[in-house]
């Protein structure tokens, strides 16, 4: 993969890059999800798009609902699909538990750990950028929660700032949804999480769960929700009739800069793409002075 090019504008290159993927919902034997969605093929297309990126990300983060029923065979299949791609591009994989996952088989199948049923949390150092994986699942239920012990652990971790700040990753987003029934499935008692992260170095929150891309702020911190790879929500329908569709799958490219973090939605779609810009154009612009670039490209024709 080629190295990122030097910037032409006022911003230096991103310090870190994360690929954010969510809601793969694998089933054992690649059974169609809901009798209609090929989760294996949809993830394959997503991973192929990730592998085409021009620079290797610093991590690939999967924010939950890794499997649909928590089947050991489904975790094994997911691992077989993801790990070879991650190895080829040299990116570690960070797994986050979702409400459809089961902690014990997830630990065994993806983390090579004992079949423990305690919350699956982790702290990852991505070259000075700290990524904390939280476990918002409530065994046996689809809503989310963070218990006292996990919040205390999080507070202890955040007591010491990281060089490039901290990103939290969890399944249930601390955001409202305009889809009525999603309120039933939300993260409960969000004010307790807000109290823990107040005044800390948390710069962004990554989440999934909704099967559509959305963003907002929580306790003053940007929240970015990645869509699903399995199926997405048709938000063009009335809010009380929103349902899944086998279209619009995407992942997010998260770029971490000194003073901001951006979250770009990358559609996974086969479509003709224009070739007006390319390496030759970039090289030609790079050879010019800033004034020359403005004259050659930015000025509108008379």
- What gap in Å lies between CA 93 and CA 51, rounded to an integer? 14
Confidence of residue 3 (pLDDT cuts 50, 70, 90): very low
pLDDT tens-digit readout, 271-295: 888 877 888 888 888 888 888 777 7
- pLDDT tops 70 at residue 5: no
User: Which residues touch 76 (CB under 8 Å, ≥6 apart)?
Assistant: 109
pLDDT given for residue 297 in this prediction: 75
Between CA 227 and CA 288 the distance in angstroms is: 40
Quote the CA–CA distance of 107 and 117 in Å, as a whole number. 9
pLDDT bucket at 302, cuts 50 / 70 / 90: low
Instruction: Give CA–CA dist 295/285, Å, rounded.
Output: 11
Q: Are strands 221-225 and 232-233 parallel, antiparallel or unpaired?
A: unpaired
Separation between Cα atoms, residue 152 and residue 146, nearest integer Å: 10
Res 139 pLDDT > 90: yes
Mean pLDDT (the chain, rounded) = 94
Q: Kindly state the average pLDDT of the residues 43-59.
A: 96
pLDDT at 2: 38
d(CA 48, CA 178): 32
Give Cβ neighbours of residue 27 (< 8 Å, ≥ 6 apart): 33, 39, 67, 68, 69, 71, 74
Rounded to an integer, the average pLDDT of 76-101 is: 98
Structure tokens at 31: 């059974």
| Best CA proximity match to 190, nearest among 232, 221, 157, 162 | 221
Residue with tokens 């290797």: 56
Burial class of 159 by CB neighbour count within 10 A (0 to 12, 13 to 18, 19+): exposed
CB 208 within 8 A of CB 23: yes
Task: Give the least confident one: 171-180, 216-225, 269-278.
Answer: 269-278
- In the predicted model, what is the mean pLDDT of residues 140-154? 97
Res 184 pLDDT > 60 = yes
39-51 and 72-89 are packed helices; what angle lies between their axes, rounded to 10 degrees? Answer: 10
Half-sphere exposure of 231 (CA within 13 A, CB side): 16
């Amino acid at each position: 993969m080629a190295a990122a090019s030097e910037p032409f504008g006022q911003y230096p290159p991103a310090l870190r890059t994360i690929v954010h993927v969510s809601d793969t919902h694998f089933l054992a034997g690649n059974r169609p999800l809901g009798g209609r969605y090929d989760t294996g093929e949809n993830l394959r297309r997503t991973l192929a798009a990730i592998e085409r990126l021009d620079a290797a990300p610093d991590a690939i983060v999967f924010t939950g609902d890794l499997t649909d029923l928590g089947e050991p065979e489904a975790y094994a299949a997911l691992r077989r699909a993801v790990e070879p791609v991650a190895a080829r591009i040299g990116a570690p994989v960070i797994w986050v538990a979702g409400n459809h996952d089961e902690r014990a088989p997830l630990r065994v199948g993806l983390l090579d750990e004992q079949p423990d049923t305690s919350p699956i949390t982790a702290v990852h150092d991505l070259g000075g950028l700290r990524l904390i994986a939280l476990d918002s699942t409530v065994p046996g239920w689809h809503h989310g929660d963070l218990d006292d012990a996990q919040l205390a652990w999080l507070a202890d971790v955040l007591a010491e700032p990281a060089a490039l700040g901290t990103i939290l990753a969890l399944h249930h987003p601390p955001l409202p949804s305009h889809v009525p029934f999603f309120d039933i499935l939300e993260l409960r008692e969000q004010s307790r999480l807000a109290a823990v992260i107040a005044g800390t170095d948390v710069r962004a929150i990554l989440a999934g769960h909704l099967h559509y891309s959305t963003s907002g702020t929580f306790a003053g911190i940007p929240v970015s929700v990645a869509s699903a790879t399995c199926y997405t929500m048709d938000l063009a329908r009335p809010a009380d009739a929103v349902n899944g569709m086998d279209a619009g799958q995407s992942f997010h490219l998260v770029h971490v800069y000194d003073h901001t973090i951006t979250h770009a939605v990358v559609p996974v779609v086969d479509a003709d793409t224009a070739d007006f810009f390319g390496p030759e154009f970039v090289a030609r612009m790079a050879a010019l002075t800033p004034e020359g670039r403005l004259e050659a490209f930015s000025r509108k024709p008379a």
